[in-house]
Structure 1
Amino acid sequence: MASDGKIVFLTGATGNMGREAIKRLHARGDVRVRALVRPEEKDHPVVRKIIAQDLATIVWGDLTDYTSIEEGVRGADVVLHVGGLVSPLADNLPRDVVTRVNVGGARNIVDAIIATGGAERVRLVYIGTVAQTGSRNAPIHWGRTGDPIKISTYDHYAVTKTQAEAIVAQSGIRHWVSLRQSGMAHYDIWRMFDPIMFHNPINGVFEWSTANDSGRLMAAVCDDAVPDHFWRGFYNIGGGAASRVVNHEFMAVSMPQYRRVLRPHWFATRNFHGQWYADSDRLEALVPFREQSLAAFQAESRRHMPALVRLVPRLAPSLVRRRIKGLAKGSGGSLRWIADNNTAKINAYFGSRAAWEALPRDWDAMPLAQPSREPVLLDHGYDEGKSADQWRADDLRQAAEFRGGHCHAASEIEPDHAVEWDCAAGHRFTMTPNLYLRGGHWCPTCMIDQGNYAAEADRNPFFAQVWTEERTWRGMT
């Protein structure tokens, strides 16, 4: 590790993105890395490697411990906040625990930066998620930052990531950025054996990133060459055109025998997340990081998968099918919802039981979609040709009216100074114009109340654009 140079404080060092960040930061040779690591992870292979190879200085603690956060932040030039509880682990923990880690962790980082005098100097990089914009099945499968926050039912992880993003964006810190991670392809993805696999629609889409490129991005944002207008913005992390696939296409490459071991009616048809980005090239233009295409990742990933894992589906497909079907029948699995007649889950993920019953039982009868490759943009309700420093009260009022509400801003607007708004349901709240317009956030109360999304779509034209297939059912809880 470099003995001088910038100090970078990294959270989430043992995760798939964090470990790649460590590797790329070390390769720079001009930064000193501090990595936040929970004491119970002291024997983690990644931690042992960090210590043995002197890749970083370990700060023992966690995101809920302000003292350890302040230790990591003090004197740092860049804070890479990659860590947190993510799905599927986050889906199986008490909600208050996930909130304490993801929301409380962001608050601790912001407070520590300000308390140590870094509000004007420190660069804070927050990693958000595509889950913040929820289900975007065709024909609304093209998205960009500024589109409505729309959180899938039961996705408390996305709730907490959205709340944490708001803390960062309204922190008063001069140099912050939110980078929303997409599906991230990593070499341990084959190990995932969790019912969440059935929550992902076969005809849904993702614009994938890779762990390799995500690590490169984390190293790149530490560079002095990053332009000033990069900061105080929201960006989607994606691999570009070559990384935009339909989920069944990804499955066909990663599991060539999928038709022999899976059945189409095991998979939800809605209420997950994923989109193709109309704006992901914007991040690449500002901070070049792309190196590994999705196809290159998939070719390379075979070397990281045990031969037995590759061979068993081919040699014993019925055995694999029984095992995977057992997962679908287990807790959190789609077939478990059907067996229990869990109407709320069935309605959320399929639309209705009748819709599930109508799904094909074999692949020959299953339509495999090819959504349009031509981007179609949602209306954000204001003149997007204006730069943020050109925004006036009329621009904000126009945006608020498109959301069914009202803005109480005076004539002079500062993009990162909070103003008062009314939402379509009559709630009064404060929010920065930047977060409202470019982040796609809206009423903090209504935005996380998925049970009232149907009513929101009736009074909020902005949100109604993404409440499309859900109009066929109203049974959310």
Structure 2
Amino acid sequence: MKTVFLTGATGNMGWAGFKELYKKRDRFKIRILARPSKKNIRKLNKYSNDPAVEIIWGDLTCYEDVRAGVSGADYVLHVGGMVSPAADYFPEKTLAVNTKAAENVAKAVLASPDPDKIKVVYIGSVAQCGDRLFPVHWGRAGDPVYASRYDKYSVSKCVAEKIITDSGIKHWVSLRQTGILYPGILKVLNPTAFHVPIRGVLEWATVEDSGRLLANVVEDWVPEEFWNRFYNISSGEQYRMTNYEFESRLLAALGLPAPEKVFEPQWFATRNFHGMWYTDADVLENYLHFRANVPVDDYFKGMKSRLPWYYNLAFLAPAFLVKLFMKPIAHEKGMGTQWWVDHDGDKINAYYGSMEEFRSIGSWAQMFPPHWKKNIQEAQAAGEIRTLDHGYDTSKSIYSLSDAEIEAAAQFRGGHFLGEVSPAEDGAVKKKDAVPHRNKGVIYGWECENGHRFEASLEYVLLGGGWCQECPLDEVTDCTTEKNRFISQVLRAQSRG
């Protein structure tokens, strides 16, 4: 029987994963780390004496607690950490907690008697893709990793991901989670909802699909080739929505009118928020077979059916009362987009472009997104997919690239390839322009356009889209130039309006 150590088990994705793993308790022992809060204690009480479940009461930022979880484990599913909305209100704490947790996981795995037997699954985030408005609203793993301005949660996920991938752990994988659909999302009311551009896009995942993913990744039938790579999580084509469509479905599920009836158009930011549709959406599904393929409209109806009865009365509220109720949320001190108008010009510039652009929003007619194709083949035929150049021949294995090819990729990012830092046991080359078979996990030296020298694996740079972390990840527009053609593809292309 194998042991699976799961962090974040009391959160939305983690709990769904725990329930799916529990169905397999005849083959897996489940070990979880949870903070001893009253809520968590109540939630886990029924499993406190269950022989299939081991509960470690502790904290991800405490190394000894994490080490206890990792000890003897065959798999580590690192789902835990601070997420929105708490991450939005406590950005610096989020950065500290999420990076420290990743450090503790990596340290504990590598300190194990047999670290190479432990497979680590890291849950990243779509937030690592930064702002991806039209015409670069389609993307794939390997596209530039960066954070939207002020998004310390995204920064924390970028940094934590690199900690895991470049730690020396033999088997790791980064699964970048998107927005999760779960019944409670219908009850979420906070000002970050207005940080999301109504003309933006997101490819969602259901919480049930996310749980099955976690339970399937620990199966023996997952092939070796799956590991040491980056994947985007989604529930597939029918879960591709513009943010306007998402808001419309959300309101309709509650029996409420369309967004233009209950929100003012200028409440919504016009940029500076993550989200994209995936050209590689099915890659992870083809490995892990986790999708239930529930029609999206049926799923929203199902979410509503699981809410308390009084939510069924929402339709009785006239539109003007709903708008009156929503207005204070948009004006909330510190986080509300409308509070920024009088108190935070820098955020107005980041989320709207300028005060002039904010004031130019006069009607909903300016905000409606076009009817973009959602099927990949149809979108390609319509010329709506702009595939980003990664600076090297992506049809090749990164382990077969010559030094010259890697240098070209580095120059595409505005920098240089400096060669090997950590010698591999065999196979890693030092001869210029040789065509090697490079080993996985070898750390190389790089230099960015700003002269920072840093270390990173080929996997992180070429497969993951990562680059220099000495350059502030949430200030990319200030610290990069056209010399970095990799990120400039994203920054210069986006339509603003």
TM-score (norm 1): 0.93
| Residue of 379, 382, 401 corresponding to 1:391 | 401
Q: Is the 8 Å Cα contact of residues 424 and 456 (structure 1) preserved in structure 2?
A: yes
**What SS class does the counterpart of residue 173 from structure 1 fall into?**
coil
* Structure-2 change in CA distance of 1:460 and 1:56 (3 Å): same
* Structure-2 change in CA distance of 1:94 and 1:128 (3 Å): closer
1:423 pairs with 2:448:
yes
- C-alpha separation between the residues in 1 aligned to 2:128 and 2:30? 29
- C-alpha separation between the residues in 2 aligned to 1:273 and 1:33? 33
Question: Who is 1:74 aligned against?
Answer: 71
Question: Who is 1:170 aligned against?
Answer: 166
* Structure-2 change in CA distance of 1:403 and 1:290 (3 Å): same
Question: Who is 2:347 aligned against?
Answer: 345
**What SS class does the counterpart of residue 303 from structure 2 fall into?**
helix
Question: Who is 1:39 aligned against?
Answer: 36
List aligned pairs for 1:247-258, cutoff 5 A: 247-256=243-252, 257=257, 258=259
List aligned pairs for 1:55-134, cutoff 5 A: 56-93=53-90, 95=92, 97-134=93-130
**What SS class does the counterpart of residue 178 from structure 1 fall into?**
strand
Give structure 2 stretches of 5+ with no counterpart: 374-378, 420-429
Question: Who is 2:12 aligned against?
Answer: 16
Question: Who is 1:414 aligned against?
Answer: 439
Q: Is the 8 Å Cα contact of residues 34 and 57 (structure 1) preserved in structure 2?
A: yes
Q: Is the 8 Å Cα contact of residues 42 and 48 (structure 1) preserved in structure 2?
A: no
Q: Is the 8 Å Cα contact of residues 261 and 313 (structure 1) preserved in structure 2?
A: no
Query: Which amino acid in 2 is paired with 1:66?
Result: Y
The alpha-carbon deviation at position 231 of structure 1 amounts to 0.5
Superposed CA deviations along residues 29-86 of structure 1, whole A, max 9, x for unmatched, are: 3111011011124655422344376662111101111111111110011110000001
1:325 pairs with 2:321:
no
List aligned pairs for 1:131-280, cutoff 5 A: 131-256=127-252, 257=257, 258-280=259-281
Mean Cα deviation higher: 180-189 or 409-418:
409-418
- C-alpha separation between the residues in 1 aligned to 2:476 and 2:206? 35
Mean Cα deviation higher: 378-387 or 116-125:
116-125
Mean Cα deviation higher: 203-212 or 238-247:
238-247
Query: Which amino acid in 2 is paired with 1:187?
Result: P
The alpha-carbon deviation at position 178 of structure 1 amounts to 0.3
Q: Is the 8 Å Cα contact of residues 179 and 234 (structure 1) preserved in structure 2?
A: yes
**What SS class does the counterpart of residue 270 from structure 1 fall into?**
coil
**What SS class does the counterpart of residue 14 from structure 1 fall into?**
coil
Superposed CA deviations along residues 448-472 of structure 1, whole A, max 9, x for unmatched, are: 3433524413220011011036798
* Structure-2 change in CA distance of 1:160 and 1:94 (3 Å): closer
The alpha-carbon deviation at position 185 of structure 1 amounts to 0.6
- C-alpha separation between the residues in 1 aligned to 2:116 and 2:50? 33
Question: Who is 1:466 aligned against?
Answer: 490
Mean Cα deviation higher: 345-354 or 37-46:
37-46
* Structure-2 change in CA distance of 1:144 and 1:364 (3 Å): closer
The alpha-carbon deviation at position 156 of structure 1 amounts to 0.5
* Structure-2 change in CA distance of 1:41 and 1:376 (3 Å): farther
Question: Who is 1:438 aligned against?
Answer: 463
* Structure-2 change in CA distance of 1:37 and 1:353 (3 Å): same
Superposed CA deviations along residues 99-133 of structure 1, whole A, max 9, x for unmatched, are: 33100101101111111124210010000000011
The alpha-carbon deviation at position 313 of structure 1 amounts to 4.7
Q: Is the 8 Å Cα contact of residues 146 and 473 (structure 2) preserved in structure 1?
A: no
TM-score (norm 2): 0.89
**What SS class does the counterpart of residue 116 from structure 2 fall into?**
coil
**What SS class does the counterpart of residue 24 from structure 1 fall into?**
helix
The alpha-carbon deviation at position 416 of structure 1 amounts to 1.6
Q: Is the 8 Å Cα contact of residues 7 and 33 (structure 1) preserved in structure 2?
A: yes
**What SS class does the counterpart of residue 120 from structure 1 fall into?**
helix
* Structure-2 change in CA distance of 1:92 and 1:55 (3 Å): farther
* Structure-2 change in CA distance of 1:21 and 1:350 (3 Å): same
1:403 pairs with 2:413:
yes
Question: Who is 1:6 aligned against?
Answer: 2
**What SS class does the counterpart of residue 219 from structure 2 fall into?**
coil
Query: Which amino acid in 1 is paired with 2:400?
Result: Q
The alpha-carbon deviation at position 174 of structure 1 amounts to 1.0
Q: Is the 8 Å Cα contact of residues 398 and 462 (structure 2) preserved in structure 1?
A: no
- C-alpha separation between the residues in 2 aligned to 1:402 and 1:288? 36
- C-alpha separation between the residues in 2 aligned to 1:114 and 1:455? 35
The alpha-carbon deviation at position 199 of structure 1 amounts to 0.4
1:451 pairs with 2:493:
no
Mean Cα deviation higher: 368-377 or 205-214:
368-377
- C-alpha separation between the residues in 2 aligned to 1:12 and 1:21? 10
**What SS class does the counterpart of residue 146 from structure 1 fall into?**
coil
- C-alpha separation between the residues in 1 aligned to 2:400 and 2:496? 41
Q: Is the 8 Å Cα contact of residues 235 and 283 (structure 1) preserved in structure 2?
A: yes
**What SS class does the counterpart of residue 371 from structure 1 fall into?**
coil
* Structure-2 change in CA distance of 1:204 and 1:49 (3 Å): farther
* Structure-2 change in CA distance of 1:251 and 1:428 (3 Å): same
Q: Is the 8 Å Cα contact of residues 351 and 470 (structure 1) preserved in structure 2?
A: no
**What SS class does the counterpart of residue 464 from structure 1 fall into?**
helix
- C-alpha separation between the residues in 2 aligned to 1:137 and 1:348? 14
Aligned-residue CA RMSD in angstroms? 2.0
Superposed CA deviations along residues 295-324 of structure 1, whole A, max 9, x for unmatched, are: 332121110223433433543332221121
Superposed CA deviations along residues 140-171 of structure 1, whole A, max 9, x for unmatched, are: 00011110112100000111111110011011
The alpha-carbon deviation at position 353 of structure 1 amounts to 1.0
- C-alpha separation between the residues in 2 aligned to 1:270 and 1:237? 23
Give structure 1 stretches of 5+ with no counterpart: none
Matched positions, count:
465
Query: Which amino acid in 2 is paired with 1:308?
Result: Y
Identity score, percent: 40
Question: Who is 1:379 aligned against?
Answer: 389
The alpha-carbon deviation at position 366 of structure 1 amounts to 3.9
Question: Who is 2:427 aligned against?
Answer: none
- C-alpha separation between the residues in 1 aligned to 2:262 and 2:214? 38
- C-alpha separation between the residues in 2 aligned to 1:128 and 1:137? 21
